[in-house]
Amino acid sequence: MSQAAADRYAWIEPDVEDLGAGVYRIPLPLPLDGLKAVNVYAITDPGGVDLIDAGFAIVAARERLTEALRQLGYGLGDVRNFIVTHIHIDHYSLAVELRREFRTLISLGADERANLVATREMINGAGGHKVFGGENLRRLGAAELIDRLPALERQGPMFRDWEDPDRWVADGADLDLRTRTLRAVHTPGHTRGHLVYHDAAAEIMFAGDHVLPHITPSIGFEPAGNRMALRDYLSSLARTLELPDARLLPAHGPVTASTHQRVNELLAHHDTRLDETLAAVREGHATPLEVATAVKWTRRQTRFGDLDLFGQVQAVNETAAHLEVLLVRGQVTREVSPAGADLYQVPHP
């Protein structure tokens, strides 16, 4: 690994990072091929700890969190709140596991209710395919991927106990902690109920997966689905720019100095992707699958065929989200093929 690459991934090392004023970053390990860690942020005071996000319910994450808290002078029983940014398993599941033992309170965005319901249906076999986005593949012109989904589904759910939080947090709610007040800001796109937590006085933002410093968040990767996820995400980025700039405390990646700087980079990225998507439609690619195969993926500019199956499902769904934004803007039209696939084309003059 080059020095640049080593520096890029230094944030995943199991160290407690002191961010000042009683706030600490604790990276917890993930059992995933792509993401290797998730940041949990500890907000401490003499009476206990509040955590932003919780990590994945695996033994290694629990042990690492226990050790990190011990270094700070606390135990798992001293955690008062899990303030979770969104419903994904690497943010929510360890909170549910630990609540059973320690009665810690869990807060989650109000608009994640639909995702909890859909997750339970998916696990119980009532929601079609057990891969997020799998139910859309025929409509996206990717029926050939459906036959390959059982290979992913046979792995079974990595977590079954998708219990409700203790508190559903509304947009604009103020969470009054012992040392600070966090303002919940609804930022749908990555998921429909995603929240960021803004501490205006300290000029910091706990951004979850809404703004990530090195990668672009997946769009609409959620069991309930959202055809307009990219439109929502772009609006959420614009809303973030309306807030005072703040130090970026992301769920994946290192802490950086400016949320606004990264938001502008993400907006520019999606402008480029929308241009690439429109160009592919102009070339005659009509279904989301066809368009997805015409563009490159990840920062490594990987071809669609070189992605693994999970990556291909995500790529087709994200392409559809970009096509829907182009549709809303009037840059493409959409009709449905006899096979039920969405077909996009540039309007004739």
Tens digit of each residue's pLDDT (9 = 90 or more) over 285-335:
999 999 999 999 988 899 999 999 889 999 999 999 999 999 999 999 999
Which range has the worst mean pLDDT, 58-62, 224-228, 285-289? 224-228
What percent of the chain clears pLDDT 90, i.e. is strictly above it? 81
Domain 3-135+161-268 has CATH 3.60.15.10: yes
pLDDT at 35 over 80: yes
Could you read off the pLDDT of 14-29 as tens digits, one per residue?
999 999 999 999 999 9
Q: Which one, of 310, 306, 308, lies nearest residue 293 by Cα? A: 306
Kindly state the tokens that stand for 282: 């102009």
Pairing of strands 174-176, 105-109: unpaired
**What is the average pLDDT value for the chain, to the nearest integer?**
93
pLDDT given for residue 66 in this prediction? 98
Start-to-end Cα distance in the chain: 52
Q: What is the pLDDT of residue 1?
A: 47
Would you list the domain boundaries of the chain?
A: 3-135+161-268
Q: Is 16 left (phi over 0), alpha (psi -120 to 50) or beta?
A: beta
pLDDT of residue 192: 96
- Report field, pTM of the whole predicted structure over 0.85: yes
pLDDT above 60 for 130: no
Q: How far is the C-alpha of 178 from the C-alpha of 171, rounded, in Å?
A: 21
> How large is the average pLDDT for residues 134-141?
87
